[in-house]
Amino acid sequence: MGSQREEFQSDAVPEYLPEMFTEHPSEILEAVLRETIDELSRDSLELVMQVAKSSNQQTANSLQAVQEIVERVVSQRLKLPGIPRSMARNIAQAILETPEAAEKLDRIWQEARARE
């Protein structure tokens, strides 16, 4: 996962984001990865499951599904007012390009959808 984290940059970092995010956009990627993959807390797990249940996507293997997760993590777990869709899409793409991260999210997604 390290190379994706190092390569992530965004030209459109909103000024309202905390300084750590505006100076280092890759920190947003790091924070989202911590919340969704690395340190999946009970709250984060519930959040991913809520997104899965309410989404039109059948799996978490699509860019749109992971982008939905990213946007929800940013607003609810990181308590940020939001990030540009292009930034959320870049973060989602980085997650999908990391096999173990994508597999883990899809397992959680499938479990949540099976409980519907």
Per-residue pLDDT reduced to its tens digit, 3-37: 444 444 444 544 545 454 444 456 666 777 777 66
Do residues 28 and 87 lie in contact, with contact meaning Cβ atoms separated by under 8 Å? Answer: yes
- Domain edges within the chain: 2-114
CB atoms within 10 A of CB 96: 20
pTM of the predicted protein model: 0.73
Per-residue pLDDT reduced to its tens digit, 53-99: 999 999 999 999 999 999 998 888 878 777 888 888 988 998 898 88
Q: Give, rounded to a whole angstrom, the gap between the first and last alpha carbons of the chain.
A: 32
